[in-house]
Structure 1
Amino acid sequence: MIRVLHTAELATTVRARARALLYDIFDDMTESDWEHSLGGLHALAWDGELVGHAALVQRRILHGGKALRAGYVEGVGVRAEHRRRGHGAAMMAELERVIRAAYDLGALGASDEGAAFYAARGWRPWRGPSSALTPAGIRPTPDDDGAIHVLPCTAPLDLDAALTCDWRDGDVW
């Protein structure tokens, strides 16, 4: 079963379980990574217990001279013993429904393991250079090139052009 709730609607115990789940799944999970998942919607997969989490937060993405409203996907993970049962797809379907209805585009940073999953769902790899709008100005983020994926919605996108995200602590993409 998938439940979609805003961060403000998450019971303290559910929020703690979601955080623990992501820390169990990802060896390199940080507090900044968890913070990036807060303040928007959470798609939670339940199979007797919490087995999956995915979050959707709003960010500004600069592209083609415009600041676009992006539904940015964060903290996507399913416990290993519950993978390949449709939980990830069901969580993403809920978030993609919201992205298509409310945002100019969807965006996310995909791991090498996750890239094929997102591509099969219609997410497109960004081929152009990436950067972040930092307190010191626009700075290239070449380590993120090739890992950024977008879900086209209403904004015209040139996948070979520059893409700049708003600033945040930790991993900017």
Structure 2
Amino acid sequence: MTDLSTAHTADLGAATLTAVRGLLDEVFEGDFSDDDWDHSLGGMHVLVHESGGLIGHGSIVQRQFVHDGRALRAGYVEAVAVRADRRRRGHAGRIMAELERIARNAYDLGALSASEEGIAFYTARGWSRWQGPTSVLAPEGLQRTEEDDDSVFVLPGSTPLDRTGALSCEWRNGDVW
């Protein structure tokens, strides 16, 4: 039997955080940096346990975007992972359904950066590729992030969006999107 739970980072103990980091390191095969880990903290986590062991995770954190002259509260999805031997059983869909519920009810929009492998999964769930230029408000000022233009996806909420317009995010260490 699998159990799905949702908790804020502040409510996860050290053992759970260690288990989550271990899962992410395993699933991303060593391509999950300390910056990636930091990006996944400070928000809500969706955890899937099976027989007492952690088999899936996703988190959503608040970020600030600017679009069409407006500051937007974005629920940014991070660190979605399911153990390889537990894939194709609906766990990622359950994780995303909860993250999408949070995004729709707590933020102006949901957003994420999709890998090539994840694009079909996210688009099938109603996420749309951002078609306009992306930028980051870096310490040096606004800088284009052309390399990320095709990887940013949004889940529209109640705020109207022109997906062909410019979108910028705040600076953070590591990958900004």
TM over 0.5: yes
Alignment of 1:58-137 (within 5 A): 58-137=62-141
Secondary structure class of the residue paired with 1:114: helix
The amino acid of 1:54's aligned partner reads: G
Q: How many angstroms does 1:154 deviate by? A: 1.3
Alignment of 1:10-21 (within 5 A): 10-21=12-23
* 1:36 and 2:36 matched: no
Structure 1 vs Structure 2 CA RMSD: 0.7
Distance 2:6 2:85 in 1: 22
**Superposition misfits of 4+ residues, deviation over 2 angstroms:** none
Q: How many angstroms does 1:16 deviate by? A: 0.3
Secondary structure class of the residue paired with 1:149: strand
Distance 1:84 1:159 in 2: 31
Q: Unpaired runs of 5+ in structure 2?
A: none
Q: How many angstroms does 1:145 deviate by? A: 1.0
Q: How many angstroms does 1:47 deviate by? A: 1.3
* 1:139 and 2:118 matched: no
Distance 2:176 2:39 in 1: 9
Secondary structure class of the residue paired with 2:159: coil
Q: Unpaired runs of 5+ in structure 1?
A: none
Secondary structure class of the residue paired with 1:57: strand
Q: Percent identity?
A: 54
Secondary structure class of the residue paired with 1:17: helix
The amino acid of 2:10's aligned partner reads: A
